[in-house]
């Protein structure tokens, strides 16, 4: 297959989409190369995204439990629990380097060539890295995304004052006041980290509610819980400017609907208003691939762009910017390149916010179902009635199951719970099989577990939960 | 503004159809009410008209796809045809791609979905052994292995090599030997399923009798011109048999009844299903309240059904229900048959060809008489042998002496 090309498949980017595609392609017998400009593999997710943020979320939660006296009611008395931020950051880096090293090993094992440097198209089948050109029968763009800049707010991670998510993962000290611009997943997660470590955290959101795109009641109840934890949440507010003087920033903001502007001082400003596809420097024009008005690369069902032999997956394509979406697209795209049938169901991509409690979501929100005109039923079950959650003194949140009123098919599920991110997989799998709420209700769940709340919520769809 | 073209309401209890044919292509200009696609349901083919004039957008389903009532099959962009025709041309590929991913009508688990796409098979053709009849991976593998795919799979099978071996090697022969694989239409599938259901469910049994048609033939030839003149329709045999059946059904109500769960439903009316030839196969419209009709009404109704079957304008409503069926295999030359009942009905009367046969008359002489065999297939769960035989004898008597119809004997 590689007669006149260096590679069967050359992937630009080694994030969760790119590296997974590379390994699957190699498994399928394709000669595969993967271009990465970072010093380590894994892209944003492993280096400065999902993985380090979860490391910090976990560590900061442990600190908070030890420090806040939350363990005392369990008979665990701790005095003098102290924060060693340097150690916390070091442990995070260790987790990151173990995981990125793991990919390097997997590349070696599967004989994927790691080509170090920045890739730029020369034509649809040639990519230049440094001063060397590589040819490939198929090229896959998996360059991911980066932080969307906010006009008037200049990010400089090295100064540790106005930072993006990358900068917020390596602050050398706990800020007195952190202002998070953007009440989405990233802002709330990283805000949680520093809140637990002792910062006062203000979240400024342009829209009326935090967590845009998620189920309405979940958004409302999550906001209530975050406020209880100490978050100051200013919704319907627009940041219009930011000046930095030394180690302090002054933000100007005004109501989104218009009105008097106000200023706010901050030690750290985290810009987390969204992410945009990474297209710059790719010399996409040489490949013939075009982007849409949002700067995304449109692809067909086989992830091929309008240019035959050029594929794109993950954050550079339309859809939610999620590592697991990119991974599954990577596998499917690699299978298509290898002449097989790839498969991914874009209607069932779970979304998780790794705060405490976690917020997880699959399928349609109640608002989406309502808008579609489908008659539906909602079953809700609170963790205050779940025995395990009660035992653990961990009763915040609930499970909400939305099912078609006629067919009983589950249309969506939304969970707030300390274990929501893990629990949502069950519902996702059930929905992949077209399950009805009754299917879930008649599936045996181990007792006592948080997962029983899913079963009870499914029973509640028919109006008959046992424990409520 | 793009208007969605949806699958129209197909009739009571009909929730889905198969897209039979696209009559308009993406980019085609369409006039309001112009048919853009044809759908096949269990019993009828019908066309989907354009809800407004404009340019047809991408086909959102493919030929052979199952579509539910209310599902969007295409969109129409209001405006002049030529201008946007070119623009919408590349669209179909993308739309087809999307339908690859999720088929709203049938839920397939991921591994099954992958296998179905890989082999290009139609999941609605495969029998599922999973929970609630869902398809398992093994079901699809078995189906593919058994070579039950339709003809469009031919290229795939060649590529696969291994799948090519699914048909046993043909014995050598000098002649040209071709096979053609044609997908069963939805109508055929339904017929197949229902017939098999009937056989699997009912305790089917057939009783026979013969009938001397002399009297009916005489009456017919005597009055056919007058009848045609007055009622504008030919006096056929069906009028006699429908009326005779109505009388017999009244006398033996169980033949006109049906089983529903653990109950028997008796009808005080006779809705007679009559088999009518249509280009797409046999259809079975229903003569409602046949017991109240005159000969002319019956003949008119049947004539109308025949015409509409040819035009394809019979609706689902025309074919729903029915408490008893008369099937006339005689028109094709059948001597004798054992018809299968049309569930949930409990009995079917089979008519056959009329032959001159030697008959020993009451006085011992032998005469050539126009004779017909009658067959009554019935569900023995509900109808006793005595009742079935009585019913058939009642028909025989009425046909041999039509005056009985007049005086209800």
- Residues B136-162: tens digit of each pLDDT: 888 888 888 887 544 333 333 333 333
The residues that bridge with B371 in the sheet, in sequence order, are B212, B355
CATH top-level class of A157-273: alpha beta
Nearest chain B residue to A435 by CA distance is: B107
State the average pLDDT for chain A.
95
- With H, G, I as helix, E, B as strand and everything else as coil, classify residue A139: strand
Query: In the annotation, is A58 catalytic?
Result: no
* Domain definitions of chain A by residue range: 7-146+276-337, 157-273, 351-461
Q: What is the DSSP letter of B127?
A: P
How far is it, in rounded angstroms, from Cα B196 to Cα B167? 26
pLDDT (0 to 100) of residue B371: 96
Task: Residue B93: list chain A partners with CB under 8 A.
Answer: 300
The CA-CA-CA angle for residues B337, B343, B348, to 5°, reads 35
How far is it, in rounded angstroms, from Cα B156 to Cα B112? 18
Nearest chain B residue to A300 by CA distance is: B94
CB proximity B139 to A under 8 Å: no
CB proximity B94 to A under 8 Å: yes
pLDDT (0 to 100) of residue B308: 85
Task: Residue B94: list chain A partners with CB under 8 A.
Answer: 300-301
Task: Residue A363: list chain B partners with CB under 8 A.
Answer: none
CB proximity B129 to A under 8 Å: no
CB proximity A62 to B under 8 Å: no
Nearest chain A residue to B130 by CA distance is: A433
CB proximity B364 to A under 8 Å: no
From 1.10.287.130, 3.30.390.30, 1.20.140.10, 3.40.50.300, which CATH number describes the A351-461 domain?
Answer: 3.30.390.30
CB proximity B6 to A under 8 Å: no
**Would you say residue B235 has pLDDT above 80?**
yes
Q: How far is A215 from chain B (nearest CA, A)?
A: 22
Token digits for A294?
A: 């949002």
Sheet holding B29-30, edge to edge: B2-6, B72-77, B54-59, B29-30
**Would you say residue B91 has pLDDT above 70?**
no
CATH no. for B2-101: 2.40.50.100
Task: Residue B98: list chain A partners with CB under 8 A.
Answer: 301
**Burial tier of B392 (Cβ tally within 10 Å: 0-12, 13-18, 19+):** buried
Contact B357, B368 (CB under 8 A): yes
Q: Which of A302, A347, A433 has the CB atom closest to B109's CB atom?
A: A433
Q: Is A343 within 8 Å of B97 when comparing Cβ atoms?
A: no
pLDDT (0 to 100) of residue B154: 38
pLDDT (0 to 100) of residue B128: 85
pLDDT (0 to 100) of residue B232: 87
Task: Residue A305: list chain B partners with CB under 8 A.
Answer: none
Report whether CATH 3.30.559.10 matches the domain B203-407.
yes
Residue B280 — pLDDT band, cuts 50, 70, 90?
Answer: low
Q: Which of B225, B311, B384, B401 is catalytic?
A: B384
Lowest mean pLDDT among A464-468, B6-10, B192-196: B6-10
DSSP letters, A296-363, are PBP--TTSB-SSTTEEE-GGGSSS---HHHHHHHHHHHHHHHTTS-----TT---EEE-SSSEEEEEE
Dihedral angle of Cα A367, A372, A373, A378, to the nearest 10 degrees: -40
Give CA separation, B228 vs B37, B224, B235, B243, in Å. Answer: 40, 6, 7, 18
How many secondary structure helices (H) and strands (E) does chain A include?
13, 22
Tell me the per-residue pLDDT of A299-357, one tens digit each, with 9 for 90 and over: 999 999 999 999 999 999 999 999 999 999 999 999 999 999 999 999 999 999 999 99
Report the pLDDT averaged over residues A272-279.
96
- With H, G, I as helix, E, B as strand and everything else as coil, classify residue B43: coil
Query: In the annotation, is B380 catalytic?
Result: yes
Overall fold of domain A7-146+276-337: FAD/NAD(P)-binding domain (3.50.50)
Task: Residue A300: list chain B partners with CB under 8 A.
Answer: 93-94, 97
Q: How far is A346 from chain B (nearest CA, A)?
A: 8
Report the pLDDT averaged over residues A51-74.
95
CATH top-level class of B106-164: few secondary structures
Q: Which of A300, A345, A409 has the CB atom closest to B97's CB atom?
A: A300
**Burial tier of B335 (Cβ tally within 10 Å: 0-12, 13-18, 19+):** exposed
Give the other-Cβ count within 10 Å of B215's Cβ. Answer: 17
Tell me the per-residue pLDDT of B172-231, one tens digit each, with 9 for 90 and over: 566 777 787 777 777 677 778 888 888 888 999 999 999 999 999 999 999 989 999 998
Q: How far is B95 from chain A (nearest CA, A)?
A: 9
Contact A35, A115 (CB under 8 A): yes
CB proximity A341 to B under 8 Å: yes
How far is it, in rounded angstroms, from Cα B395 to Cα A126? 85
The residues that bridge with A163 in the sheet, in sequence order, are A270
pLDDT (0 to 100) of residue B248: 95
Q: How far is B58 from chain A (nearest CA, A)?
A: 14
Q: Which residue is associated with the tokens 């078609």?
A: A404
Give me the half-sphere count of Cα atoms (radius 13 Å) on the Cβ side of residue A6. 17
* Domain definitions of chain B by residue range: 2-101, 106-164, 203-407
CB proximity B260 to A under 8 Å: no
- Of A420, A386, A406, A423, residue with least CA distance to A461: A406
**Would you say residue B244 has pLDDT above 80?**
yes
Question: Quick check: do A7-146+276-337 and A157-273 share a fold?
Answer: yes
Task: Residue A290: list chain B partners with CB under 8 A.
Answer: none
CB proximity B93 to A under 8 Å: yes
Calculate the CA B290 to chain-centre distance: 21
CB proximity B113 to A under 8 Å: yes
Token digits for A350?
A: 């779970």
CB proximity B104 to A under 8 Å: no
How far is it, in rounded angstroms, from Cα A170 to Cα A89? 7
Nearest chain A residue to B117 by CA distance is: A341
Task: Residue A432: list chain B partners with CB under 8 A.
Answer: 109-110
Nearest chain B residue to A344 by CA distance is: B101
**What pTM, to 2 d.p., does this model score?**
0.61
């Amino acid at each position: 297959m590689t007669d006149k090309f260096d590679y069967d498949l050359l992937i630009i980017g080694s994030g969760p989409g790119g590296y997974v595609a590379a390994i699957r392609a190699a498994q399928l017998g394709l000669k595969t190369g993967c271009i990465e400009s970072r010093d380590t593999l894994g892209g944003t997710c492993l280096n400065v995204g999902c993985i380090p943020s979860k490391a910090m979320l976990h560590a900061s939660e442990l600190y908070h439990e030890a420090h806040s006296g939350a363990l005392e009611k369990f008979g665990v008395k701790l005095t003098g629990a102290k924060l060693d931020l340097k150690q916390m950051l070091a442990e995070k880096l260790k987790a990151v380097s173990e995981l990125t090293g793991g990919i390097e090993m997997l590349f070696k094992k599967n004989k994927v060539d790691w080509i170090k440097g920045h890739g730029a198209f020369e034509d649809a089948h040639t990519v230049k890295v440094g001063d060397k050109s590589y040819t490939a029968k198929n090229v896959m763009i998996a360059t991911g995304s980066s932080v969307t800049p906010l006009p008037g707010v200049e990010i400089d991670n090295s100064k540790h004052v106005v930072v993006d998510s990358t900068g917020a993962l390596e602050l050398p000290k706990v800020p007195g006041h952190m202002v998070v611009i953007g009440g989405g997943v990233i802002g709330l997660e990283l805000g949680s980290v520093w809140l637990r470590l002792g910062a006062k955290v203000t979240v400024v959101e342009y829209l009326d509610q935090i967590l845009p795109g998620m189920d309405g009641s979940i958004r409302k109840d999550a906001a209530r819980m975050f406020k209880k934890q100490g978050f100051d949440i200013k919704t319907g507010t627009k940041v219009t400017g930011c000046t930095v003087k030394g180690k302090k920033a002054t933000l100007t903001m005004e109501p989104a609907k218009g009105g008097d502007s106000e200023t706010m001082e901050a030690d750290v400003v985290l810009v987390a208003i969204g992410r945009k596809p990474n297209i710059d420097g790719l010399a996409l024009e040489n490949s013939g691939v075009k982007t849409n008005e949002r700067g995304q690369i449109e692809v067909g069902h086989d992830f091929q762009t309008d240019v035959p032999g050029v594929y794109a997956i993950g954050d550079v394509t339309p859809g939610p910017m999620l590592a697991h979406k990119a991974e599954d697209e990577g596998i499917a795209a690699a299978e298509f390149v290898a002449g097989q049938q790839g498969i991914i169901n874009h209607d069932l991509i779970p979304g998780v916010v790794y705060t405490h409690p976690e917020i997880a979501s699959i399928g349609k929100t109640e608002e989406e179902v309502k808008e579609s005109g489908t008659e539906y039923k909602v079953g809700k079950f609170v963790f205050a009635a779940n025995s395990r959650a009660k035992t653990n003194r961990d009763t915040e949140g609930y499970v909400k199951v939305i099912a078609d009123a006629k067919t009983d098919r589950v249309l969506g599920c939304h969970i707030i719970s300390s274990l929501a991110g893990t629990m949502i997989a069950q519902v996702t799998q059930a929905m992949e099989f077209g399950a009805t709420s009754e299917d879930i209700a008649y599936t045996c769940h181990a007792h006592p577990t948080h997962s029983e709340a899913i079963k009870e919520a499914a029973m509640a769809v028919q109006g008959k939960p046992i424990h409520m | 503004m793009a208007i969605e073209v949806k699958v129209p309401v197909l009739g009571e209890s009909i929730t889905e159809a198969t897209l039979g044919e696209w009559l308009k292509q993406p980019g085609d200009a369409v006039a309001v009410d112009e048919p853009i696609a044809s759908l096949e349901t269990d019993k009828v083919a019908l066309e989907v008209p354009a809800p407004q004039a404009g340019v047809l957008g991408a086909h959102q389903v493919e030929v052979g796809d199952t579509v539910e009532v209310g599902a969007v099959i295409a969109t129409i962009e209001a405006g002049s045809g030529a201008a946007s025709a070119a623009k919408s041309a590349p669209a179909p590929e993308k739309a087809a791609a999307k339908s690859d991913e999720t088929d709203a009508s049938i839920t397939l688990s991921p591994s099954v979905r992958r296998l179905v796409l890989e082999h290009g098979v139609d999941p609605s053709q495969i029998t599922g052994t999973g929970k609630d009849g869902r398809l398992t991976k093994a079901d699809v593998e078995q189906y593919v292995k058994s070579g039950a795919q339709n003809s469009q799979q031919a290229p795939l099978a060649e590529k696969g090599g291994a799948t090519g071996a699914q048909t046993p090697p043909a014995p050598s022969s000098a002649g040209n030997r071709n096979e053609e694989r044609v997908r069963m239409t939805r109508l055929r599938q339904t017929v197949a399923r229902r017939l098999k259901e009937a056989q699997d469910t009912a305790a089917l049994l057939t009783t026979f009798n013969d009938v001397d048609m002399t009297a009916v033939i005489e009456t017919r030839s005597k009055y056919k011109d007058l009848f045609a003149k007055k009622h504008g329709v030919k006096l056929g045999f069906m009028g006699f048999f429908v009326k005779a059946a109505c009388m017999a059904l009244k006398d033996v109500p169980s033949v006109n009844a049906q089983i529903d769960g653990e109950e028997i439903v008796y009808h005080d009316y006779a809705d007679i299903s009559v088999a009518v030839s249509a280009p797409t196969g046999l259809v079975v419209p229903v003569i409602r309240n046949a017991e109240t009709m005159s000969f002319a009404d019956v003949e008119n109704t049947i004539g109308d059904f025949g015409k509409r079957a040819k035009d394809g304008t019979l609706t689902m409503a025309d074919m729903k229900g029915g408490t008893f069926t008369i099937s006339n295999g005689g028109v094709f030359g059948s001597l004798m048959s054992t018809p299968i009942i049309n569930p949930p009905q409990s009995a079917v009367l089979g008519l056959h060809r009329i032959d001159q046969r030697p008959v020993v008359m009451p006085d011992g002489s032998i005469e050539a008489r126009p004779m017909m065999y009658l067959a009554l297939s019935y569900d023995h769960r509900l109808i006793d042998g005595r009742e079935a035989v009585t019913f058939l004898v009642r028909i025989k008597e009425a046909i041999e002496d039509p005056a009985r119809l007049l005086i209800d004997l």
